[in-house]
């Protein structure tokens, strides 16, 4: 077994040689235990992460139908992707959604955290209110919003009418721009609690002395935020932006369930492409190629994050 | 002047925002308690549980919630077990190659689950697991986030306790079980909450794997049930309420721990 060879192979390690014989025996026993404790996870990792990734990469070079008819076609799937009008539209939709929703969620989340951080009485109530939607599932929030946004019967138009913002019914889900606005509103409402909680924790970690110093210097509220609060939150901000960017790139549930990808395909996304090509027209190879493009994009974002964090750490 | 009114502005803004978040949820509850073609907007609000009875008769909501519970609890328990063992080994034992393995697992954190939908589908189909509840649990166990979070936590625990235990002759496994697990209850709770919510909310993989109504999770079954209603909102909204109420109750009871847990895992995820 692998664990045995590993233990024997490493017996000359520097850390063990300087110890007493008894300790070194324990150390050796430790290697066996160490390997045994990592092994169960490693099996699942191999079976459901590493092998699928490699398998999927392989499939992306084939014309692969559901029933298993497969022909090796090299990079043809990837070449076809570049020509695929619908994929390009879906990719562009996803990028636009990400570009709009990430700053919105991060900015609004930070605003809520700053507001709540300044309030002692009733803080728990506010925290609960902002976080509550986050625990609901994508199906529940999507359905709530579909019904909420209905013209004539939905509450949203009624509220907007009531405060005088609109004067005629708005058909939120029938217009391509408004459909995206709807998805973004629902997503902000659903996920902002997570971002808010991260920012609030970050705010509470800032030492009181920082603010006292700013006070002594006679800084006003905005200056304090600009030069003390915001820089102290840089790690949290990077984290939030990266997590949100990755999550936004993977958007599927909201667009499937709120708009069904419509009107006329206007709210389809990259994962939507994977779903449709893979499980509705059953072009497994083509869908795998799309999945690889998605993975590459997310990998680049993650690497940029690592670099940014390292820079901040200096 | 501005300084004087600032605290009030903050409070009013905060309450208005809180209303924005609460209104859709209250509206869901209100609609579910109003009979169709009811009186929510035409004055006179008479509460009725008819919608709940109708929905429960037409859709196996409790069965779906049972499936969700089963899948989420199994996933969470197994993730905690696998991740805490591996994280302990990486933090305290170290064997030749353990560093390389850890880095390999870490780099897998950058790979989105959505990228492996096709190969997972093929593998599950060929192994006969497609469409089972087991198929919903297994892929979630390969996520490395738990190892990363728990290793960070274990690295921060003082070495004195285990040294004492080791002198008393306790092995690594016993130290993990007797000392590390009890000491890391907050971290385990945080990871558990995170994993549970993720599993409960999973939509795309169940959508692909499960086709039999009896094995659907609530997240998957709910939209399927609702899609048969058009221009009728009370029953779909009642189904939402049925799916949401238990989750909201659990959230309200444990809100402090849940919010803390999310802050903890979220903050560690870097």
Find which of A11, A29, A31, A41 to mutate to test the B interface (most B CBs within 10 Å of its CB): A41
Is A298 in contact with B93 (Cβ distance < 8 A)? no
Local confidence band at A154 (pLDDT 50, 70, 90 cut-offs): confident
> B174-203, pLDDT tens digit by residue?
888 888 999 888 889 989 988 998 899 899
Chain B residues within an 8 Å CB radius of A130: 17-18, 21
**pLDDT one-digit tens code per residue, A3-13:** 333 333 333 34
d(CA A266, CA A260): 10
Nearby residues of A291 by Cβ (< 8 Å), 6 or more positions away: A56, A60, A274, B114, B115, B116, B117, B118
Is a pLDDT exceeding 70 seen at residue A26?
A: no
Say whether A138 and B236 touch across the interface (CB within 8 A). no
Q: Over 90: is that where the pLDDT of B140 sits?
A: yes
Q: Measured between CB atoms, does A29 come within 8 Å of chain B?
A: yes
B173/A247 Cα distance (integer angstroms): 37
Note the pLDDT of residue B168: 83
- Cβ distance B209 to B130 under 8 Å? yes
Per-residue pLDDT of A128-150, as tens digits, reads 999 999 999 999 999 999 999 99
The residues in A 185-244 lying below 8 A from B, measured between CB atoms, are 189, 194, 197-198, 200-202, 221, 235-236, 239, 243
| A187-198 average pLDDT score | 94
Beta-carbon separation of A47 and B142 below 8 A = yes
Give the model's pLDDT for residue A141. 95
Q: How far is B256 from chain A (nearest CA, A)?
A: 9
CB-CB under 8 Å, B82 with A140: no
In the structure, what pLDDT confidence band is assigned to residue B39 with cuts at 50, 70 and 90?
very low
Rounded to two decimals, the ipTM of the complex is: 0.89
Q: Is A25 on the interface with B (CB under 8 A)?
A: no
Name the residue among B13, B89, B263 with its Cβ closest to that of A115.
B13
Q: What's the rounded mean pLDDT across residues A16-23?
A: 45
What are the DSSP calls for chain B, one per residue? Answer: -HHHHHHHHHHHHHHHHHHHHHHHHHHHHHHHTS-TT-SSSSS------HHHHHHHHHS-HHHHHHHHHHHHHHHHHHHHHHHHHHHHIIIII--TTHHHHHHHHHHGGGS-GGGGHHHHHHHHHHTT-TTSSHHHHGGGGG--HHHHHHHHHHHTS-SHHHHHHHHTT--HHHHIIIIIHHHTHHHHHHHHHHHHHHHHH--HHHHHH--SGGG--HHHHHHHHHTT-SS--HHHHHHHHHHHHHHHHHHHHSHHHHHHHHHHHHHH--
> Do the Cβ atoms of B74 and B137 come closer than 8 Å?
yes
Q: How far away is chain A from the Cα of B50, in angstroms, using its nearest Cα?
A: 19
What are the pLDDT digits (tens) for A220-268?
888 888 888 888 888 888 888 888 998 999 999 999 999 999 898 899 9
Residues B81-135 have pLDDT tens digits of 999 999 999 998 878 888 999 999 988 888 888 889 999 999 999 999 999 999 9
Task: Name the band, by pLDDT with cuts 50, 70 and 90, for residue A15.
Answer: very low
Distance CA A141, CA A138 (A): 5
What angle (nearest 5°) sits at the alpha carbon of residue B201, between those of residues A51 and A65? 40
Question: Closest approach of chain A CAs to the CA of B136, in angstroms?
Answer: 11
pLDDT score of A311: 81
Confidence of residue A27 (pLDDT cuts 50, 70, 90): low
What is the pLDDT confidence band of residue B267, given thresholds at 50, 70 and 90?
Answer: low
């Amino acid at each position: 077994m692998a664990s045995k060879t590993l233990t024997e192979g490493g017996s000359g390690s520097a850390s063990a040689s300087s110890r007493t014989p008894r300790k070194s025996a324990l150390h050796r026993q430790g290697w066996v235990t160490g390997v045994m404790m990592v092994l169960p996870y490693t099996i699942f990792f191999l079976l459901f992460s590493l092998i699928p990734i490699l398998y999927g990469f392989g499939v992306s070079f084939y014309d692969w139908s559901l029933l298993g008819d497969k022909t090796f076609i090299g990079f043809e799937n990837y070449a076809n992707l570049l020509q695929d009008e619908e994929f390009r539209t879906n990719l562009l939709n996803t990028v636009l959604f990400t570009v709009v929703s990430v700053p919105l969620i991060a900015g609004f989340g930070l605003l809520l955290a700053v507001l709540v951080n300044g309030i002692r009485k009733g803080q728990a109530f506010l925290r609960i209110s902002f976080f509550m939607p986050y625990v609901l599932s994508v199906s529940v929030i999507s359905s709530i919003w579909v019904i909420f946004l209905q013209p004539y019967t939905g509450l949203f138009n009624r509220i907007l009418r009531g405060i005088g913002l609109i004067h005629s019914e708005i058909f939120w889900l029938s217009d391509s721009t408004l459909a995206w606005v709807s998805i973004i509103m629902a997503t902000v409402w659903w996920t902002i609690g997570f971002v808010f909680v991260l920012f609030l924790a970050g705010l509470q970690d800032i030492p009181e002395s920082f603010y006292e110093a700013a006070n002594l210097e006679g800084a006003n509220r905005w200056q304090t935020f600009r030069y003390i609060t915001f820089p102290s939150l840089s790690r949290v901000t990077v984290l939030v932006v990266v997590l949100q960017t990755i999550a936004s790139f993977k958007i599927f549930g909201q667009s499937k369930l709120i708009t069904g990808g419509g009107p006329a395909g206007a709210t389809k996304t990259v994962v939507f492409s994977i779903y449709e090509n893979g499980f509705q027209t059953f072009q497994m190879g083509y869908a795998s190629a799309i999945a690889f493009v998605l993975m590459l994009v997310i990998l680049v974002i993650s690497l940029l994050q690592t670099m940014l964090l390292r820079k901040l750490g200096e | 002047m501005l300084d004087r009114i600032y605290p009030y502005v903050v409070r009013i803004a905060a309450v208005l925002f809180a209303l924005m978040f609460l209104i859709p949820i209250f509206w869901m509850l209100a609609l579910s308690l109003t009979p169709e073609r009811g009186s929510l907007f035409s004055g006179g609000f008479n509460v009725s549980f008819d919608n709940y009875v109708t929905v429960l008769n037409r859709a196996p909501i409790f069965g779906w919630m049972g499936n969700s519970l089963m899948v989420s609890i199994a996933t969470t328990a197994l993730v905690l077990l696998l991740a805490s063992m591996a994280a302990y080994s990486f933090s305290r034992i170290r064997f030749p190659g353990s560093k390389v393995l850890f880095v390999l697992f870490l780099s897998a954190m950058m790979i989105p689950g959505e990228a492996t939908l096709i190969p997972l589908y093929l593998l599950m189909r060929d192994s006969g697991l497609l469409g089972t509840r087991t198929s919903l649990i297994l892929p979630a166990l390969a996520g490395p986030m738990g190892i990363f979070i728990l290793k960070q936590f274990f690295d921060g625990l003082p070495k004195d306790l285990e040294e004492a235990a080791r002198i008393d002759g306790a092995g690594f496994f016993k130290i993990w079980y007797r000392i590390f697990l009890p000491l890391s209850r907050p971290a385990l709770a945080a990871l558990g909450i995170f994993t549970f919510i993720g599993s409960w909310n999973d939509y795309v993989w169940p959508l692909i794997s499960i086709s039999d109504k009896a094995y659907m999770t609530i997240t998957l079954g709910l939209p399927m049930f609702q899609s048969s209603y058009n221009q009728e909102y009370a029953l779909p909204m009642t189904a939402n309420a049925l799916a949401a109420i238990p989750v909201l109750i659990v959230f309200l009871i444990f809100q402090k721990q849940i919010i803390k847990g999310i802050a903890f895992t979220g903050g560690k995820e870097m």
